[in-house]
Structure 1
Amino acid sequence: MSAVESLYELERPDEVTRQASSRLEHAMTGARTRQAVLVVDGEEVEVPEALLQVLLHAVHQQAAGRRVRVVAPDADEELTPNQAAEYLGISRPLLVKLLDDGTIPARNLPGSRHRRISVAALESYLDHKVARRARLSAAMNDIAEADLYDQQD
């Protein structure tokens, strides 16, 4: 588990996880109702359907060998530049460039050159990046549909 409470990343799946995924999927697809009860130290806790769906999705992704990250994007926690670079899946030098040019806001620790980056700022950057990619893709599709792309051999 990450040291930051707003970020939790699951490890690569093992056989127990794969079996749990299969059993959970089988139970949910065959169920007449979308209810579940967890038993924790003998105490039963009812699990809402929305949480079951999130759990099932996470288990499926992990069982398929994909990285699963649970994020609280509005959390107040802050990350170090190393943690932020890992969070974004980019190199630390690239992150530093994004911090230096103001693309991602950060704050300096009092009396220090060390910086901290909020999880919310990182999520905002990711949202902006996804939206930009969508706009670029749409523009490229428009160019292709209008037959304005001239391929030269």
Structure 2
Amino acid sequence: MTDVQARRVQPGSMDAEMAGRAVRRIKDYLMRSPGQETIRVVGEHDAEDPLILPREAVSLLAFILAQAAEGRGVTVVPSHAELTTQQGADMLNVSRPYLIKLLEEGEIPFRLVGKHRRRDDVRRRTAADQLAALGQELGV
């Protein structure tokens, strides 16, 4: 099994006002530079050595900040990650038996590793989309 390194920001753990200001500045910058693939970040003390970030990473940061500004938590999990049933249930904020029921009914594709269920890598993206949709339906 892949060691899943999920990174979670709990609801309310970030200053919502500061997050709101930051996301507005990032979105303004991205709108002013639509074709730019990398973003230079220059702080007070690093003008000669700016941080260069991929545009997609900055967009993801803007999404996280937007959620924090609304007082919501965010969890980031690599797309290649395989989850145990407990990890999947925790992410969806449902019980493990309920998730297992969905798996056994064919609602979410999975694979077995020994006696343990894992999502099938071939159908990984579909499963992630289905989990996201289920999370939206459940208001997670």
Contact 2:23 2:66 in 1 (8 A): no
Match of 1:13, SS? Answer: coil
Counterpart in 2 of 1:142? none
* Partner of residue 83 from structure 1, selected from 81, 87, 92: 87
Give unmatched runs, 5+ long, in structure 1: 134-153
C-alpha RMSD over aligned residues: 3.7
The equivalent residue for 1:117 is 119
Larger radius of gyration: 1
Corresponding residue number in structure 2 for 1:126: 131
Could you say which residue in structure 2 is the equivalent of 1:96?
Answer: 100
2:41 is aligned with what amino acid? V
What CA deviation, in whole Å up to 9, does each residue of 1:3-24 have, x standing for no partner?
613x433222345464244145
* Higher RCO (C-alpha under 8 Å, 6+ residues apart): 2
Identical columns (%): 27
Contact 2:11–2:72 (8 Å) recurs in 1:
yes
Tell me which amino acid in the other structure corresponds to 1:4. V
Residue of structure 1 in register with 2:10 after alignment: 11
Deviations 1:92-132 (A, max 9, x none): 1111112223332333332xx332335825314336769xx
Which residue in the other structure is 1:137 paired with?
Answer: none
Runs of 4+ in 1 over 6 A off after TM superposition: none
CA distance in 2, matches of 1:14, 1:98: 32
Flag the 1:38–1:69 CA change in 2: closer, same or farther, 3 A. farther
Paired residues in the alignment total 123
Letter in 2 for 1:80: T
Q: Using structure 1 for the length normalisation, give the TM-score.
A: 0.57
